[in-house]
């Protein structure tokens, strides 16, 4: 897996590569939900929330991972979520953090098969 240095939400993966996205809440409860290619995902582990999926496709196929992060009104203004992305063929990257927004904010990551 590689990350596009000019677009930190874009990744290139090998066909059938397993991807792990770890979502860490900072100064708030870890309340997330996620989907890969419009299919809901269950967290494999909670707090931090860990989501896993396999990217299967032809070269040039592009897939989307979307994660909704929920905030509560009582969370401090500097509350945020951190995203770590790793691939089974190597590569560990950070995606942009999601700052506090009420009631929720979304992170969308794109994966293109090489």
Q: How many domains does the chain have?
A: 1
Residue 58 confidence (pLDDT) = 98
Label residue 33 by pLDDT band (50, 70, 90). very high
CATH code, domain with 50: 2.60.40
Per-residue pLDDT tens over the stretch 59-90: 999 999 999 999 999 999 999 999 999 999 99
Q: What mean pLDDT is predicted for residues 39-57?
A: 98
In this predicted structure, what is the pLDDT of residue 53?
A: 98
Please tell me the predicted confidence (pLDDT) of residue 48: 98
Pick from 102, 98, 97: nearest CA to 73: 102
> pTM score, two decimals?
0.97
pLDDT for residue 94? 98
* Mean pLDDT (whole number) for 108-114: 98
31 near 70, Cβ under 8 Å? yes
Domain with 80, as residue range(s), is 2-113
At 45 the pLDDT is 97
Residue recorded with tokens 């942009």: 96
């Amino acid at each position: 897996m590689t990350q596009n240095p000019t677009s930190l939400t874009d990744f290139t993966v090998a066909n059938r590569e397993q991807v792990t996205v770890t979502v860490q809440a900072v100064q708030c409860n870890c309340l997330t939900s996620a989907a890969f290619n419009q299919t809901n995902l269950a967290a494999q582990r909670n707090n931090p929330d860990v989501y896993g999926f396999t990217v299967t496709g032809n070269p040039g196929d592009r897939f989307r991972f979307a994660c909704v992060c929920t905030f509560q009104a009582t969370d401090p203004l500097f509350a945020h979520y951190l995203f770590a992305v790793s691939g089974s063929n190597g590569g560990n990257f950070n995606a942009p953090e999601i700052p506090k927004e009420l009631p929720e904010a979304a992170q969308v990551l794109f994966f293109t098969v090489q």
